[in-house]
Chains A and B, each alone.
Chain A
Amino acid sequence: MLDEPKDFIGYLMSQLINRQLEDPNLESRVKGWKMTVVLATDYYPVTLTFNKGVRFAKGAASDATLTVEMSFGTIIRLVMEETSTIKAFLKGEIKAKGMFRHPMAMKRFYGLLNAALKG
């Protein structure tokens, strides 16, 4: 379902999300999603295109449904469960553009991200 990106963050995200998609229920739900999410880290942005699956590409798509900004350090803190997406969001460590226009996309992506980072 996923191709293998050549960059670190894209590869990492693809591996983590791939693990989640081993659950056939989630996989079939995700296959129905149609959205483009830019994960803008302090290293560089990656674009996740959900369209009958997920594709990863380095760089920021100009037509993103959502742009989620967070540092790689925040990703690590989420993994360590030193913070949660909600807490980080309230503290401004995660910023999201497009969430009011696309609340469903936001809910889906955060849900997937949370699950992926917690393994």
Chain B
Amino acid sequence: MVSLKEKFERIVGADHVSDGAAERYVYSRDMTENPPREPQLVVMPSTAEEVQKIVRLANEERVPLVPFATGQSVGGLTIPQVDDAVIVDLKRMNKILNVDEEGMYMVIEPGVTFGHVRKYLDESHPDLRYTYAISSPFTSVIANALLQGLCDLSTRYGSMAEFINGLEAVLPTGEIVRVGSGILGDDNWFGRYPLPDLVGLFTGWQGMTGIVTKMALQLWPKKPFTRHFALFTFGEFMTTDLLKQIVRADLAEDAGALSFSVVKALIGMPAPIEAIEGEPDYGTFLTLSGITSLELDEKVRVLKRIVDRSKAEEPKNLLIPFEAVARLMSEEAYGWVDFPSDSFKQLTEYDGLTWMGTYIHPKNWGEALFKGRKIVEKYGYELMAFLKPMKGMHFCEFKFIIRFKRDDENLKRVHQCNNELLDLALDLKAIPYKTPVWSAKKLHERADPNFIELVRRIRDLLDPNGIMNPGRWGL
């Protein structure tokens, strides 16, 4: 009888299937506190047709599949939730298929990373840019968009899912489908409308509704004049209020605020980092740009005026040109704002990394930050909040990152801390993102039950045999 492994080998070749102990171990876990579970096999397809054959085989054999790009979601999202799963590692599908200069989009495969995109655009399309997360340069661009993540243009344009013009996916039943304007052909991925917007069948689903094999993502023209600033501020409410004013005035392309401990880590201070009384509470990196130097200068002038006005309440608020940051703090400072994906290595100082992150209504942002800080302090972890005003201030992001040593005591403590942070977030009606199962279940308890039922029905409709990432999102 032909074994399952051999059947997969016939599809992708023997070199691209493994059931070795080392691979099963590596793919069973991530850096978070979420409990590991070993898959039975790992397969690495290189084309959409191979993915299709894998999915068809999985249906015949009733084998659960877990789509995997690089496993860096910080939510345990690629850890199988059931036994005997097969990991479908998409790294070999790493082609940038097309960059459409006029329509300003790129079409890429799921193994393409932020590093690939940055390098390729810089070399071949220097007038266009994509948006970059602070995750490592080797993480998947498509996975981040599917997870509705956030990047350095999110302050202006929103979550990365907003950048999707369309996609191609292998459904859980094996059909290859397209959504978006690309339904009319390969050179036509200009957008999602006017059509039933089925991109939503794939974003936010954590790989339960199919395997995306191709995606068209918006690019943006690089503005010729750009300046960066660091803004040091005090207090949670004052900081968020000031950010709201800056972003509502449409001055900044990006505003990424960090607990001051993160700033200290960035300038090279060794872990663990203490927040010292008297230091600013937050450092925000701001990017301003213009088509002319006049436009940029005017934005800078308005920014300075807003910050100066805030000094009536907090005289120590300080706007610092990045030239000074680079001279004073670190030569690498321009990297923090220019290509953040390659700059936040300090977050992986230990073997453990986790967070509780959410999108939240602007009115609850300051309170979430204030109370969240108390929780993290109670557990004795470093204060590492990340905040981003999103989509021109229509909503906000906040998360508390915890870097930790993975011993039993810490794993338990980190989980308790995240649990408390999640309760706080849900009390403030924030929606957690990249939710591990435990977190999704808590969301279900509070959410409109008809919504959860609808999600379940759609999932069952698309995946009648329940083979796509079963158990994910607590379903």
Residues on A facing B (Cβ under 8 Å): 4, 6-9, 11-12, 15-16, 42-44, 58, 71-73, 75-76, 79-80, 117, 119
* B318 pairs with A72, CB closer than 8 A: yes
CB distance from A9 to the nearest CB of B (A): 8
Q: Does B327 reach chain A (CB closer than 8 Å)?
A: yes
Specify the main secondary structure of chain A where it touches its partner: helix
The number of chain B residues with a CB under 8 A from chain A is 25
Please indicate the chain B residues that have their CB under 8 angstroms from the CB of A58 in the complex: 276
Q: Is B279's CB within 8 Å of the partner chain A? A: yes
Chain A residues within an 8 Å CB radius of B315: 42
Contact A79/B327 with A12-B267, A73-B318 known, Cβ cut-off 8 Å: yes
CB-nearest residue of chain B to A118: B327
Task: List residues of chain B with CB within 8 A of the CB of A6.
Answer: 269, 273-274, 276
Chain B residues positioned under 8 Å from A75 (CB to CB):
328
Residues of chain B within 8 A (CB-CB) of A16 are 328
Given known A-B contacts A58-B276, A76-B320, A4 and B270 have beta carbons under 8 A apart: yes
Interface centre among B263, B269, B274 (most CB of A within 10 A): B269
A7-B276 in contact (CB<8A)? yes
A92 CB to nearest chain B CB (Å): 16
| Contact flag A119-B270 (CB < 8 Å), given A8-B264, A76-B320 | no
Given contacts A12-B329, A79-B327, A80-B324, contact A7 B318 (CB under 8 A): no
Q: Which residues of B contact A73 (CB under 8 A)?
A: 318
Chain A residue nearest to B318 in the complex (CB): A73
* Residue B456, interface by CB 8 Å: no
Output the least CB separation between A58 and chain B (Å). Answer: 7
Q: For the complex, what is the distance from the CA of A6 to the CA of B315, rounded to whole Å?
A: 24
User: What sequence of 0s and 1s flags, for each residue 300-321 of chain B, a beta carbon within 8 Å of any chain A beta carbon?
Assistant: 0000000000000001101011
| Residues A8 and B318 in contact, CB atoms below 8 Å apart | no
Assess whether A119 is in contact with B327, with CB atoms less than 8 Å apart.
Answer: yes
Main secondary structure of the interface of B (DSSP, over half): loop
Contact of B323 among A11, A15, A42, A80 (CB under 8 A): A80
Chain A residues in 8 Å Cβ range of B278: 7, 43-44
Within residues 173 to 219 of chain B, which ones have a CB less than 8 A from any CB in chain A? none
Interface flag for B280 (CB, 8 Å): yes
- The answer, yes or no, to whether B277 is at the interface (CB within 8 Å) is yes
B355 within 8 A of A: no
**Is B323 a contact of A8 with CB atoms below 8 Å?**
no
Beyond A11-B264, A12-B267, A12-B329, whether A43 also contacts B279 by CB under 8 A is: yes
Contact A12 B279 (CB under 8 A): no
Q: Give bound CA distance, A79 to B320, whole Å.
A: 11
Which A residues touch B279, using CB under 8 A?
A: 7-9, 43-44
Judge whether B68 is part of the interface by a CB distance below 8 angstroms: no
- Identify A11's interface contact among B232, B269, B316, B321, CB under 8 A: B269
Please indicate the chain A residues that have their CB under 8 angstroms from the CB of B318 in the complex.
72-73, 76
- In the complex the two chains form, is B260's CB within 8 Å of A8's CB? yes
Which residues on B sit within 8 Å (CB–CB) of A15? 267-268
Please report which residues of chain B, range 259-292, place their CB below 8 angstroms from some CB of chain A when the two chains form the complex.
260, 263-264, 267-270, 273-274, 276-280
Question: In the assembled complex, which residues on chain A have CB atoms less than 8 Å from the CB atom of B276?
Answer: 6-8, 44, 58
Q: How far is the CB of A40 from chain B (nearest CB, A)?
A: 11
> Complex formed: what's the CA distance from A12 to B283 in Å?
15
Measured between beta carbons, the chain A residues less than 8 angstroms from B329 are 12
B91, chain A: closest CB distance, angstroms? 39
Complex Cα gap A15–B315 (Å) = 26
